[in-house]
Structure 1
Amino acid sequence: MSRAWEKFFYICCFITQGSSYISATSYGLMHRLHHAHTDTEKDPHSPSYTDNMFALLWQTRNNYNSIFLGRIKVDDKYKKDLPEWAAFDKMAHNWIARLAWGAFYIGIYALLVTQWWMWLFLPITFAMGALQGIAVNWWAHKFGYRNYTVNNTSRNIMPVDLIFWGEAYHNNHHKNPGRANNAVKWFEIDAGYGLMILMHKMRIIKLKPVNI
């Protein structure tokens, strides 16, 4: 991916994630550490070392912030080919930006809600990124089926993934982490991979073949 496209997607992430914005660099590091140390004490987000999904959320938050702020020393081998735009992260990844997004959400709700109970969705809007993290990092290590026997607790949450764009196939992903298509069985659908094929044909990204 070119540097220009990389910056374009940074901006897209900021717009779509809003108050839940996270640094692609720091998330990439945390994700690689998760794969390197899955379900061990060094795993930055493991249900095996937390009592419930909210404890996992807090653990993930603390480890992510430590990586972002440089409190955790990460081996250089995990940093290879990660996207990086430090100046943008500094602007987007702070409480001023998060509060601004919060004010924007409240304004949208004030304009659109017609019943009092609709306001109950506001906290979900604020924390959407964190809730998605729970869905994958907790549920996908607790519930579902397995296509592969691996040395961790990863599972596929649902046979037909129309919600998480392929991330529901967590067991498949842990078996072949370098494979763009997380779907394996005939009934599994990885919409994210379909989007990647389109981006590949548009020469935005370059998909590399992976032997499995």
Structure 2
Amino acid sequence: MSNEYVHRLQRRHFLLFDVLPILGTAVALALLAVRPITLVDLALLGAMWAITLMGVSVGYHRLFTHRSFTAAPLLGLVLTVCGSMAGQGGLVSWVALHRRHHERSDRDGDPHSPNLAGGGLAGRLRGLAHSHFLWMRRHEYPNVVHYAPDLIADRRLISVARHYHVWVVLGLALPALVGGLVEWSWYGAVTGLLWGGLVRMFVVEHLIWAINSFLHSFGRRSFRTRENSHNSGLLALLTFGESWHNNHHAFPESPSFGLRWYRLDPGIWTIRACAALGLASDLKTPSARRQATRYADLPAAEIPAADVAIAVAEERAS
């Protein structure tokens, strides 16, 4: 779908939720000249980062886009609200776009590939700028009836997801309220809004966008896939495990993106904690045998030695 009405909505969302956090971050940094950042500000930044990134990674991505596990209805609704507070788009739109990305990854039709802007340094830079940030100004909108019929059919879920803008405002109001009450001042409310709201939104957005851009250009690969996805251990904790991106493209149905215990993946830790509480089930992690068949697609020199040793041990044990 591509029409002027949709593009106006995209531009408005881009200005409000992608550009405004940049301005808010600049204001927060400027205010450091007046008063240093406080422990309250840092705590609000950290807490809201964890809440909203959990909503995007565990909820929007692993649960709703790829159905990599089954969640209790209440957990699904909570994850919807948390993911919406990140300001990265409504649930149905986000899921439709991401399913489209997997369908056409790094080919014509991928909404945010960095590899379709031509060759050479200029083409590489254009592609990175497009995939990291600029694509959100204007893009074709995937038909949600085609790409997300399962979500549309869930009336209870839609009744919560349709209030996307309310949840975004809540994600800004909560840290402002907490900051104001803890500091017992309007200045505390303002810095709470900035650090727990706009700076947090800026940080979460650019971490997620880095996966679209840099991890479709640079990094290491554990599995051969038909597109150009890569892994980055350096970003694993900061992105809730989303930076194991090559693993994810190799096994998109897996709730674990790290696939191995030594790869940091807070997303799967959260899902397993929910499973222990009876809130999640049916985790579809690929077996060692299935992973080993995908290693065979890579040249031997490119296969991580630790992964080979563990896969062989698990294969013998089974």
Question: Same-fold call, TM > 0.5?
Answer: yes
Contact 2:208 2:239 in 1 (8 A): no
Unaligned runs of 5+ in 2: 1-70, 118-125, 181-185, 291-318
Residues 73, 160 of structure 1: alpha-carbon distance in 2 compared, 3 angstrom cutoff: closer
What is the Cα deviation at residue 167 of structure 1?
0.6
Q: Distance in 2 between matches of 1:163 and 1:125?
A: 12
Summarize the alignment of residues 55-70 of structure 1 with structure 2, pairs less than 5 Å apart: 55-56=130-131, 57-63=133-139, 67=141
TM-superposed deviation, 1:141: 0.9
Q: Specify every segment of 5 or more residues in structure 1 that has no aligned partner in the other structure, as ranges.
A: none
The match for 1:5 among 58, 75, 78 is: 75
Partner of 2:116: 49
> 1:208 is matched with which residue?
283
Partner of residue 145, structure 1: 220
AA of the residue aligned to 1:6: G
Supply the AA of the counterpart residue of 1:9: L
In 2 relative to 1, CA 136–61 (structure 1 residues): closer, same or farther, beyond 3 Å? farther
Q: Secondary structure in 2 aligned to 1:48?
A: coil
How many correspondences in the alignment?
195
Displacement, 1:13? 3.3
Offset at 1:180? Answer: 0.8
Higher share of residues assigned helix: 2
Where do residues 1-212 of structure 1 align in structure 2 (5 Å cutoff)?
1-15=71-85, 17=86, 20-50=87-117, 51-56=126-131, 57-63=133-139, 67=141, 72-74=142-144, 76=146, 78-81=148-151, 84=158, 85-89=160-164, 91-92=166-167, 97=169, 104=176, 110-111=187-188, 124-158=199-233, 161-185=236-260, 187-211=262-286, 212=290
C-alpha distance 208-47 of structure 1, shift in aligned 2 (>3 A): same
Question: Are 1:159 and 1:187, in contact at CA under 8 Å, matched by a contact in 2?
Answer: no
Cα deviation, residue 11, structure 1? 2.9
Task: Identify which of structures 1 and 2 has the higher relative contact order when contacts are C-alpha pairs closer than 8 Å and 6+ apart.
Answer: 2
Percent identity over paired residues: 20
CA distance in structure 2 between the partners assigned to 1:137 and 1:3 by the alignment: 30
Structure 2 Cα separation of the partners of residues 5 and 121 of structure 1: 23
| Paired residue type of 2:207 | Q
> Residues 207 and 160 (structure 1 numbering): CA distance in 2 closer, same or farther, change over 3 Å?
farther
Structure number, greater radius of gyration = 2
Paired with 1:189 and 1:126, the residues of 2 have a C-alpha distance of 23
In structure 1, what is the Cα distance between the partners aligned to 2:163 and 2:195? 32
Deviations 1:119-167 (A, max 9, x none): 9999644533431232211121122100011111100022682221211
Contact 2:96 2:147 in 1 (8 A): no
Q: Secondary structure at the match of 1:59?
A: helix
Offset at 1:55?
2.2
Q: Which amino acid in the other structure matches residue 44 of structure 1?
A: P
TM-score w.r.t. length of structure 2: 0.51
CA distance in 1, matches of 2:195, 2:165: 31
How far apart are the structure 2 equivalents of 1:131 and 1:148?
25
